[in-house]
């Protein structure tokens, strides 16, 4: 799993962050002191707090509360169509799409909302989709120790749709399979069929 490198020096102050936004506005060719842009640095800093809130959360802690009384349940648990909101680490452009997360328990299960929260935690960081997909699967594997984990993300990258090659209809699909999902093609195919059932309706 990719490690998040911590800042060696103290985090910049809010005022330093706002000044950086003013600098970018000037560099783009506008006047940060004009009326319409006066409060923009403050808004951008507040937005960044939301966009990148994942750095302040511990994904393993989110999964730490598990339940062992599952009456012998050992079939797939799947949460489909989890909204993905992230930012490309190369251009800081939005990555928007959906994640499908499944696992087969081995004695322990976790509240289904926690699977969606794991997607949020890793999404709300500077990311590549490939890394985010692996981080989600690896964290669930490490904490729950299930029989297998499957993660599929289908997302649109604004660095491709609004700049560069401008392929507005493109999407990127990434997957990470572990355990029985990786070893057993029938199990993997069942998962892929189940996450696509809404598309046939």
Tens of pLDDT along the chain (201 residues)?
555 555 556 889 999 999 999 999 999 999 999 999 999 999 999 999 999 999 999 999 999 988 876 667 789 999 999 999 999 999 999 999 999 999 999 988 999 999 999 999 999 999 999 999 999 999 999 999 999 999 999 999 887 777 677 777 778 999 999 999 999 999 999 999 999 975 544
Question: Cα–Cα distance between 142 and 137 in angstroms, integer?
Answer: 9
Q: Look at strands 126-127 and 77-88 and give their pairing.
A: parallel
The answer to whether 51 and 96 have CB atoms below 8 angstroms apart is no
Q: What is the pLDDT of residue 201?
A: 46
Which pLDDT belongs to residue 45? 97
The radius of gyration computed from the CA coordinates of the chain, to the nearest angstrom, equals: 20
- DSSP 8-state code for residue 197: G
Tokens 């005022």, located at residue: 15
Domains for the chain: give ranges and CATH numbers.
14-51 (no CATH), 62-200 (3.30.1130.10)
Query: Which DSSP category does 199 fall into?
Result: G
Reported pTM: 0.88
The conformation of residue 37, written as its DSSP 8-state character, comes to: G
Q: What is the C-alpha to C-alpha distance for residues 99 and 151, in angstroms, rounded to an integer?
A: 7
Which residues are catalytically annotated? 88-91, 129, 157, 159
């Amino acid at each position: 799993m990719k490690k998040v490198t911590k800042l060696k020096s103290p985090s910049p102050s809010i005022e330093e962050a706002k000044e950086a936004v003013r600098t970018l506005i000037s560099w783009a060719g506008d006047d940060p002191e004009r009326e319409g842009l006066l409060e923009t640095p403050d808004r951008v800093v507040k937005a960044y707090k939301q966009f990148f809130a994942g750095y302040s959360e511990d994904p393993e802690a989110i999964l730490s509360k598990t339940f062992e009384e599952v009456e012998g349940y050992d079939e797939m648990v799947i949460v489909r169509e989890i909204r993905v909101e992230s930012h490309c680490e190369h251009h800081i452009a939005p990555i928007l799409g959906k994640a499908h997360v499944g696992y087969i328990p081995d004695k322990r299960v976790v509240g289904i909302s926690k699977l969606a929260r794991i997607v949020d935690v890793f999404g709300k960081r500077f990311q590549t989709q490939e890394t985010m997909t692996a981080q989600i699967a690896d964290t669930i594997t490490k904490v729950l120790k299930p029989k297998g984990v499957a993660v599929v993300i289908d997302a649109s990258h604004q660095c491709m749709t609004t700049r560069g090659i401008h392929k507005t209809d493109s999407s990127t699909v990434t997957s990470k399979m572990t355990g029985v999902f990786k070893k057993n093609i029938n199990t993997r195919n069942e998962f892929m069929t189940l996450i696509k059932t809404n598309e046939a309706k």
